[in-house]
């Protein structure tokens, strides 16, 4: 962990990746209430009211996370979409970081992160409370 943090401090592309990750998070926060509830979100809310170690068609993490959100932030769309948005922002940063580990220049890192930022699949998945956001 110490090596990872020292690498982040030395590299001048870290601020660019943080800006792109913040932009992704901001996009999702500003648009989180435009669509309404997704049908699976109702399912996860119901499952979070009766937590179990396993469910037939999804792992227990999503129900536990939904329970955490419900207990701390409520059931609003903004609250339910907060953690998927954070996961999307982390994905942007990790993509740039992986590009750095593979030898990409600062431009290459930013380009890799930007590609994920504008990818329609990434924009869609991280705007809803689904298991796919955390896979």
| pLDDT of residue 81 exceeding 60 | yes
Buried b (16+ CB within 10 A) or exposed e, 31-56: ebeeeeebeebebbbebbeeeeeeee
* Residue 113 forms part of a structural domain: yes
- Is residue 3 situated within a structural domain? no
Residues 89-112: what's their mean pLDDT?
A: 95
Euclidean distance between CA atoms 94 and 113, whole angstroms = 8
CA distance 58 to 65: 13
54 part of a folded domain = yes
pLDDT, tens digit (0-9, with 9 covering 90-100), for 5-17: 565 556 677 899 9
What range defines the domain where residue 118 resides?
Answer: 12-134
**Residue 7 counted as domain residue:** no
Q: What integer pLDDT is reported at residue 34 of this predicted model?
A: 85
| Structural domain includes residue 1 | no
Domain count, the chain: 1
């Amino acid at each position: 962990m110490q090596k990872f943090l020292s690498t982040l401090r030395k590299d001048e592309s870290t601020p660019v990746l943080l800006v792109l990750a913040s932009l992704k998070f901001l996009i999702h926060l500003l648009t989180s209430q435009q669509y309404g509830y997704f049908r699976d979100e109702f399912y996860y809310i119901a499952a979070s009211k009766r937590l179990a170690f396993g469910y037939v068609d999804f792992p227990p993490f999503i129900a536990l996370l939904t329970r955490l959100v419900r207990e701390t932030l409520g059931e609003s769309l903004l609250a339910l979409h907060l953690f998927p948005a954070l996961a999307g922002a982390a994905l942007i940063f990790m993509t740039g970081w992986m590009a750095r580990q593979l030898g990409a220049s600062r431009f290459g890192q930013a380009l890799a992160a930007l590609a994920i930022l504008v990818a329609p699949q990434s924009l869609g998945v991280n705007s809803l409370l689904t298991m796919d956001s955390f896979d």
